[in-house]
Structure 1
Amino acid sequence: MISQAPFQDFITSCQALKGDEKGEAQTFLNRFFQAFGYADAIAAGATFEERVSRGSAAGKTGFADLVWKPRVLIEMKKRGTDLSKHYAQALQYWTNLVPNRPRYVLLCNFDQFWIYDFNVQVDTPVDVVELGQLPSRISAFAFMEVGHRTPVFRNNQVEITEKAARRMGELYQCLKVRAKNGSFSEAQAQRFILQSVLAMFAEDRGLLSTAMFIECVQDCVNGGSTYDILGGLFREMNTPGQTPAGRYQGVDYFNGGLFAQVQPLELSREELQLLDVAAREDWGKVRPAIFGNIFEKSADDVERHARGMHFTSEVDIMKIIRPTISRFWEEQIEAETTIGELNQLQLQLQQYRVLDPACGSGNFLYLAYQELKRIEVMLLDKIAAKRRAPMTQGISFVTPNQFYGLDTNPFAVELARVTLMIGRKIAIDKHHLTESALPLDTLDQNIICADALFTPWPKADAIIGNPPFLGGKHLRLNLGDDYIDRIFAKYTDVKDSVHFCSYWFRLAHQNLPENGRAGLVGTNSISQGKSRTAALDYISQNNGIIHDAISTQEWSGEAAVHVSIVNWIKVRPSPQASLTREEGDPIGGRARQIPRVLLERARELRQRQTPAEQILWECLRNRGLANAKFRRQHNLGSYIADFYCHQARLVVELDGPIHKERKDYDQRRDQWMQEQGLTVLRFRNDEVFANLSDVLDRITQHLLPPNELPSPSRRGAGGEVHISCYLDSQPVPFITSSLRATVDVTTAKRLKANLNKCFQGVIQNGKGFIVTEQQVKDWVKNDPKNEDVLKLFLGGSDLTDIPHGCPSRWIIDFVDMSLEEASQYQKPLEWLKNTIPQERANNRNPRLKTYWWKYEGKRLEMRIVLESLSFYFAVTEVSKWSIFLPCQKNWLPSNLVHPVASDDFYVLGILTSKLHRAWVKAQSSTLKGDTRYTHNTCFETFPFPQTATAQQIEKIRATMQKLHDYRTEQMEQKQWGITKLYNAYFDEPASQLYQLHAQLDQQVLAAYGFNKNDDLLAKLLALNLECAAKESQGEPIKGPTA
């Protein structure tokens, strides 16, 4: 056990410090580390004054006092500082300290330690320890110890909330059972539960007299009637004024919303015991942000507790609220300097409206309200400082009535209203405000039970939330044909079956005012395929700028999915004056007279852009860069500009080899453009390939009004701010609708040289085709020719989990035989006849019912190609690493396996390199957190080296053979699959796996002629486009061959 003596010495030594944040913080922290047995903080592995992004729109950075990854972030403040005012800064630093983010955060003012675990609870410390308590409270700092034990905290409000919510959920379950007998309705049971919840909260927060509710419950336990006693209390809570005398003396008027209807219930002994246990919890520590979520699930199914409770964590919700709401207001407050400007902000804050169109039990709205209350206090503090007088008491403008919600679940709607009612009192207590918490706000018109897809949305400046997760293929099954037909009829511009949440993204953008902001959670398919087209592409093409996003993460809610978090701004369209000037501009405007020959020439150039031009255009098109509208191959006078932005009067030119031959011409052209008031930026093609982000940064610096974004308030909160983007908590120059900050390789072309070289395996459509090894042995023993139609069946999990990727199952395979031919194999055919017709009975495809012994996808072409090889390479469709393995050609690949028609280890080396892995990650979709490999997007678009020498090819082949031998040996020795091998060693620099991959990557880069510092995706896309252009002209290119 750690000794207390060093901590007593630490306390004594700190008493001599003045508590100066700048001059003494490092001394204090070094002594703190020494008390735990370290030489000092640096020796322990910590860093002082680490630069961290502040996540601001202007891209500002700050310095964290101490960062010790992955253990703790420590922020020091001067002695006497109110630490509650600095939690937001600590949260922002912690959010951006990726990768390997510290688990805990300490705020310290030399006398107090506030310990945060943001993964557990966001705005409240899990413990507060006074300096003098350290020797007796060392267990709270166990994460600091050399042995790194689990700390013991005294303010874990999540545990209290879970207990309270669970008890009330169980009580509600009991009442629902009784409601079926008709003595009261389920709606009346709900109201009784919510009235009880609010009463218990009110009691422990001082809105009811001390022990008022618990004494009522105790009297009922001792023989009193809940119908009389609790019913009487609830009626008094709905009586205007204060109860003057009697049992309920001193009870204030709460409101006519929740308590407008009081339906007394007589609880059974069992039900009363549940309420009694719940009432004994400390409801002052219940966290409303998660209470409703947990209670809902407890009320739905008590048995869920055995599987563990799931709720959306507060820290995940803050990944929307901070970028969409908090950050803007903090920067506005920081930017304004006069009392008049600050007073104007105060008025705007009073009118600011927030909407959650899928609000559930109100967790997003609750946290948004708490953030706005914190911001309000920040604003009032600054006004008071300017006036050199204490903050005016009793002035507060942010109320729950500024928050709106829609949901189809009536009980969730009631919970959301109660959550916000409770939230007001919590904010008053937290910030020591003097505004009255009673009567409670009536939110019946703010949070309503309605279908967001068929109901007009309330006006709002910010739209936040977590729309329902439901894949496009499951819509009809889960929601019914009638409902889906209504959706398709209303939203005719949304093509195909997209993910359900796509409609919320689209509607949110449509309902945002100019300069409004939104932040929504969607499954990570929102940035892929048809869902991306319907949602994020639509946003980007309609004055939307994605400024903060998490590309993919595991979701903390109950749905077992990986999600994307997207925050965007709907910027103000260009002023009409600018459009008018452009229309009439004789140089670059639409009304200018252009000779037909120049128009034809511009169209011709658009049709045959160079690879560098295509890459840059993908970044500029659809207002993709700072919301600036660019045109490509645009006529200016007698010239044609590669790219032109009229609003910024900016020309961007890309120079290929021909520029050296026509320097004089280009100089005259640039001079003429500059004389017209245009700015000309020139970049070499190789700059686009090698340093695309630098090129985009330079262009952004020359964009004027489009990237100076106004306030997101629809009323115009004054001032203009520069926008910066953050992807996965890291600053980036831009974010595409695919939630990447790199060139969008989904624009790559499928190459003819790669066609029919990679396939999807067979689709059998019927579990009956799969048979056991014992069946195979018995049938072959019965008739040896049955072996002709019994194949080893290669599944995706075989490739990832079994040594060498060996198949673990057998399958009946009649290929394309007629029924007469198949009848030669009596036992296998008889087995299929007894299984497959039943399985396909409800299938809409009549062919599958008629030809029941055949696969849905036989892959005849694949079979012919693979048969000519000694072996083939294959990768599973969904995996973490997308590793190809050699496979025996008599293994029949399933639909979750993609075989490549090659037995050349040179080709395997290219497919195993980091270049192909990067291409796959950029091209592919994801399933949960894994990468999905598809032959048409990942393989057929991938450009193989075009100029590799025989020596380079042989080096790659030899190194890949070494890597294969190593992997084979390791899998055999350890009986591991390839995934387990890569999980163990791929990121270990000392491992042979790491070193062989490094050697292979270096050789593959050389074969392509790339440099390790190049933007490899941009280079590969350029090569793809170049190869596609050659193929369109009938020129051959090199595909997956040596």
Structure 2
Amino acid sequence: MSKIVDDLNSFVAYASTLDGDEKGEAQVFCDRLFRAFGHEGYKEAGATLEYRIKKTSSKGTSFADLIWKPRLLIEMKRGGEKLQLHVRQAFDYWVNAVPNRPRYVVLCNFNEFWIYDFDRQLDEPVDRVNLKELPKRYTAFNFLFPVERKPQFNNDRDEVSRQAADKMAELFKRLTRRLKHPVPREQAQRFVLQTVVAMFAEDIDLLPAGMIKGIVDDCLQNKQSSYDLFGGLFHQMNDPNFAKGGRFVGVRYFNGGLFSQINPIELTEFELDLIGNEAKGDQGAALKDWSKVNPAIFGTLFQQSMDAAERHAYGAHFTSEADIQRIVGPTIVKPWRERIDAATTMKQLTTLRRELAEFQVLDAACGSGNFLYVAFRELARLDQLILLRLKALVSHKEFQNQSKQLVAIRPLQFHGIDLDSFGVELAKVSLMIAKKLALDEAIDALAEDDAGEFTKGTGELAFHRDEALPLDNLDENIRCEDALFAKWPKVNAVIGNPPYQSKNKAQKEMEPGYLQKLRQHYPQIDGRSDYCVYWFRKTHDQLAEGQRAGLVGTNTIRQNYTREAGLDYITQNGGTITEAVSSMIWPGDAVVHVSIVNWVKGKQLGKKRLYIQEGNDQQSGWRHADFDKIGASLSFATDVTTAKRISANAQKGCYQGQTHGHEGFLLQPKEAEALLKLHPDYEQVLFPFLIGDDLLGGIPPKPSRFVIDFRELSLPEAQHFKLLLTRVQKMVLPDRQKAADEETARNKQIRAAVPGAKVNKHHANFLKHWWLLSYGRSDMLAVLSGLNRYIACVRVTKRPIFEFISTEISPNDSLQVFAYDDDYSFGLLQSNVHWAWFIERCSTMKADPRYTSNTVFDTFPWPQKPTTKAIEEVAKASRELRKCRNDMRAKRKQSLREIYRTLELPGANPLKDAHAALDQAVRNAYGMGKTIDPLAFLLALNRQLVEAERKGEAIQGPGLPASVKNRAPFISADCLTP
């Protein structure tokens, strides 16, 4: 026998002597468990007992029994305690155990272990292990060894769900893509869903066992007709009259919704194999244990049965259960749980149960119904909690009276809207199945073997099991409509994950005229906003006082136009953000960064919790903080969303680089240099062209290509540069002609759909001047023409790296250009004061900050009356910083990007010292003390300057202050040259 088995046998023998006292024995139990897995003890392993976790309300702090980051959280309960009643508590601990959140959570009552991996599977533990089984089942705890191993779980519902979903998705694809007689999409959808319900039903005791496999066997082995057999089963499932004989005796009535229309299909042998051929090595879907299939399978099925292009057009994204809980928990569960916990009498509890039974929930972008399914399950669990509280308060007779309806929650309390017909049908199926699963869970939770009041197998329970059928007809509840134009039902809470697309993608992917209709219907929403903002706005307008909502949006929901149309509107019109995620990576195929917002229409006292996922690590990257108020920018810093445009800033100085628009304008350096040698005058229209990666990644940094820029030359004038014009004519003109023709055709369709609609004419304008860059930025070039150098930074960047660029180099639109040549202006822009403002006022590209001149530069207040000494100190510090960088680059042969990565490492670093000196000099120029919050200071200054401009008073704008009479000492010579 191995040492691990010996050690675990010893642990089991010791643990069996304990009384199961949660307070007195949990710690020694955990310590002995760690010793059994090869540690000297929990402390030596690095675990912590009674780990402090701040609650998400104002009620103080909770303590998890043990945390061993980033692997394990253990929550102990008294011996024999029903662990299913404490899953929510364990989940809340896990959510807030950041940073380095543990991967696994173990609930234990001294007799059994329930193991959870909430990122993969929320509804059920991935394994259940009895104490006495531990020596044989220890591989489920492989994560507990000093050197972590991959655990082997027996209840990985996620894997079973994916396998079953793959089979049914493949069946759907095969049916619709037959070479001969392909099945119409809608018919294939309905047949697949009817089959899925039947497979679920036979594994959760709603259909006789083995029904589907028996049909497949008869079709494959006895050559019977699948058209007849599946058609007969589905017809019987839709018949209120039970079969008195024949194959379908025992099949009960399901409903008149999904099974109201039966269109059987004669399946091929391969299609039958996908459903249930045991003879094939890869088992069919019917041979899976569907009682272990998570209803989130329908989300997966929905996603996999659509091709990638279609999913993107709808903005559809798969959502995990753990992420759904970030909305369902704060918006639905937490408020109800607080009310239930506060109830102390039978009257209060029965009143709450009646209210719970009438609580209505809407997902206006329901997709396959995952949000609605989780909401149903959580409301059903709240209902169980009320019954358990009643059971402890009232007599057995009174409890039997109160529990005649074992589950008060009904699918008809849930409403959904979606444009995709398949998603709508999937959502109905999810809720139909949720009813049966909730009933089974309630029976398990209320069973009392010792008292015999509610024992499995009694006639009383058999009666309750019969409540599962017939399934509700949800045709009126889950509707296939465009939610933005449909009338929403009156509900108590709105949840969901609306589709998200940027304005530009929406123009390309939506049907002609749709955006025009949308803007006519919602004229108050800026047309540049992300698509999801329409759901936020409409949701808030639908809520009554005291009602709640929780939605997922792209992280642009907290930025600029989208924030102003959505979260600003919500917070300025009676909404209070109660809990939110500022930014996180949304799991699934779509690599998007999202924000999650839960809010109430009205006030809510107490602290509000804000989360953020930093970097790409799903576990360790999380942090959170509590605030009296969460602002519309979902920021952990001072909320500066109210800052306004300063006219002096907006007049000139900050520009986006040139957008060439077509590769035909670009040349490799060798090709350009050869042309310039033959035609020196081509230097008038052929320029080195700098992109962001050249600036940050080049060793040394220099332009990697040239651009043909005819500036504002007319076509006849451009003829002088014949070789270049011919190149552009050959490469660019045909594509611009094609794009313009397509735009004209699309505009015709738009105007046919929406007479008088405003249409885009970008490509027509590009064609009109086909020899010119798409956006040559002539205003920028005019300003730069009077300078020898300008300041630039990469527009989308993780680090604040500014550099002087020679005006002989043209900036690509990946660069943000600042038309200043002095060292003082450079110092202000490179300082952490400006970076702090940039981070809070910018937009983002995925998770990376993006410099937006109108929100960042135009609102950034410059020092108003810096002393001459302070100005000189900033200029000197900026020169020394650049010298430090240049010396490091020359010595180390590294790029700017590589040099700045050293700032992330501990230890002495001359670059850190140079930045610190500059930052202090800039603070001195503002008159900003060391302890002053720069954002609060800048916001107050912004308001002061805006008010001064309103009164007609002069202010100090960007650049060298007016007090500097001699600019020469502030204009050094260093810059990036061609």
User: Common fold, TM-score beyond 0.5?
Assistant: yes
Amino acid at match of 2:45: A
Cα pair distance change 1:982/1:80, threshold 3 Å: farther
Give the Cα separation in 1 of the matches to 2:55 and 2:889.
46
Amino acid at match of 1:793: F
Q: Structure 1 unaligned segments of length 5 or more: list them.
A: 572-625, 627-706, 709-721
Residue 446 of structure 1 corresponds to: 477
2:416 is the alignment partner of 1:405: yes
Residue 733 of structure 2 corresponds to: 837
Residue 68 of structure 1 corresponds to: 68
SS at match of 1:730: strand
Residue 879 of structure 1 corresponds to: 797
CA contact (8 A) 1:353 1:403 kept: yes
CA contact (8 A) 2:643 2:859 kept: no
Deviation at 1:105, TM superposition (A): 1.7
Question: Structure 1 stretch 90-99 or stretch 357-366: which is displaced more?
Answer: 90-99
2:919 is the alignment partner of 1:912: no
2:316 is the alignment partner of 1:317: no
SS at match of 2:177: helix
Deviation at 1:218, TM superposition (A): 1.9
1:330-729 to 2 correspondences below 5 Å: 330-387=337-394, 389=396, 392=400, 393-395=403-405, 396-432=407-443, 434=461, 435=464, 436-571=467-602, 626=603, 724=608, 726=610, 728=612, 729=624
Residue 732 of structure 1 corresponds to: 627
Amino acid at match of 2:772: K
Deviation at 1:1040, TM superposition (A): 3.8
Give the Cα separation in 1 of the matches to 2:915 and 2:36.
44
Cα pair distance change 1:38/1:300, threshold 3 Å: same
Give the Cα separation in 1 of the matches to 2:625 and 2:378.
23
Cα pair distance change 1:870/1:368, threshold 3 Å: same
Residue 220 of structure 2 corresponds to: 221
SS at match of 2:506: helix
2:656 aligns with one of 760, 768, 779: 760
1:1037 aligns with one of 942, 956, 961: 956
SS at match of 1:747: coil
Give the Cα separation in 2 of the matches to 1:836 and 1:907.
39
Residue 815 of structure 1 corresponds to: 711
Amino acid at match of 1:441: D
Question: Structure 1 stretch 425-434 or stretch 351-360: which is displaced more?
Answer: 425-434
CA contact (8 A) 2:649 2:857 kept: no
CA contact (8 A) 1:879 1:932 kept: yes
1:8-19 to 2 correspondences below 5 Å: 8-19=9-20
CA contact (8 A) 1:505 1:535 kept: yes
Question: Structure 1 stretch 753-762 or stretch 465-474: which is displaced more?
Answer: 753-762
Give the Cα separation in 1 of the matches to 2:912 and 2:131.
47
Residue 753 of structure 2 corresponds to: none
Give the Cα separation in 1 of the matches to 2:261 and 2:956.
78
Deviation at 1:256, TM superposition (A): 2.5
Amino acid at match of 1:734: K
2:936 is the alignment partner of 1:929: no
CA contact (8 A) 2:607 2:626 kept: no
Deviation at 1:146, TM superposition (A): 3.0
1:116-195 to 2 correspondences below 5 Å: 116-178=116-178, 181=181, 185-195=184-194
Give the Cα separation in 1 of the matches to 2:569 and 2:365.
20
Residue 667 of structure 2 corresponds to: 771
SS at match of 2:727: helix
Deviation at 1:917, TM superposition (A): 1.9
2:918 is the alignment partner of 1:1023: no
Give the Cα separation in 1 of the matches to 2:684 and 2:846.
38
Give the Cα separation in 1 of the matches to 2:236 and 2:957.
84
Amino acid at match of 1:25: A
Give the Cα separation in 2 of the matches to 1:242 and 1:945.
84
1:404-426 Cα offsets, whole Å, 9 max, x none, are 11112112111111111111222
Residue 660 of structure 1 corresponds to: none
Residue 783 of structure 1 corresponds to: 679
Question: Structure 1 stretch 115-124 or stretch 983-992: which is displaced more?
Answer: 983-992
Give the Cα separation in 1 of the matches to 2:347 and 2:179.
58
SS at match of 1:260: coil
1:739-758 to 2 correspondences below 5 Å: 739-740=634-635, 742-750=638-646, 752=648, 756-758=652-654
Deviation at 1:809, TM superposition (A): 2.2
CA contact (8 A) 1:106 1:116 kept: yes
CA contact (8 A) 1:815 1:858 kept: yes
Give the Cα separation in 2 of the matches to 1:235 and 1:848.
61
1:199-219 Cα offsets, whole Å, 9 max, x none, are 111122222222222222222
Give the Cα separation in 2 of the matches to 1:528 and 1:181.
50
Amino acid at match of 1:324: T
CA contact (8 A) 2:825 2:958 kept: no
Give the Cα separation in 2 of the matches to 1:500 and 1:875.
29
Residue 251 of structure 2 corresponds to: 251
Give the Cα separation in 1 of the matches to 2:842 and 2:709.
30
Give the Cα separation in 2 of the matches to 1:169 and 1:296.
8
Residue 53 of structure 2 corresponds to: 52
Question: Structure 1 stretch 990-999 or stretch 751-760: which is displaced more?
Answer: 990-999
CA contact (8 A) 2:863 2:956 kept: no
Cα pair distance change 1:982/1:312, threshold 3 Å: farther
Deviation at 1:129, TM superposition (A): 2.5
SS at match of 1:852: coil
CA contact (8 A) 2:370 2:427 kept: yes
Deviation at 1:67, TM superposition (A): 2.7
* Cα RMSD for the two superposed structures: 3.1
Give the Cα separation in 2 of the matches to 1:146 and 1:998.
42
Give the Cα separation in 2 of the matches to 1:152 and 1:1004.
57
1:879-912 Cα offsets, whole Å, 9 max, x none, are 2224223434422111221123345555444433
Amino acid at match of 1:261: Q
The count of residues paired between Structure 1 and Structure 2 equals 889
Residue 964 of structure 2 corresponds to: none
Question: Structure 1 stretch 943-952 or stretch 734-743: which is displaced more?
Answer: 943-952
2:793 is the alignment partner of 1:897: no
1:139-166 Cα offsets, whole Å, 9 max, x none, are 3333333333333333221111111111
Cα pair distance change 1:1035/1:176, threshold 3 Å: closer
Give the Cα separation in 1 of the matches to 2:432 and 2:658.
58
Deviation at 1:388, TM superposition (A): 5.3
SS at match of 1:519: strand
The TM-score with structure 1 as length reference comes to 0.79
Residue 454 of structure 2 corresponds to: none
Cα pair distance change 1:30/1:408, threshold 3 Å: same
Give the Cα separation in 2 of the matches to 1:802 and 1:297.
42
2:267 is the alignment partner of 1:267: yes
1:616-668 Cα offsets, whole Å, 9 max, x none, are xxxxxxxxxx5xxxxxxxxxxxxxxxxxxxxxxxxxxxxxxxxxxxxxxxxxx
Deviation at 1:90, TM superposition (A): 1.4
Amino acid at match of 1:771: L
Residue 287 of structure 1 corresponds to: 294
Give the Cα separation in 2 of the matches to 1:110 and 1:1006.
62
Residue 605 of structure 1 corresponds to: none
Amino acid at match of 1:732: F
Amino acid at match of 1:79: G
CA contact (8 A) 1:114 1:128 kept: yes
Deviation at 1:350, TM superposition (A): 0.8
1:355-402 Cα offsets, whole Å, 9 max, x none, are 111111111100110111111111111111111549535422101111
Give the Cα separation in 2 of the matches to 1:476 and 1:836.
23
SS at match of 1:520: strand
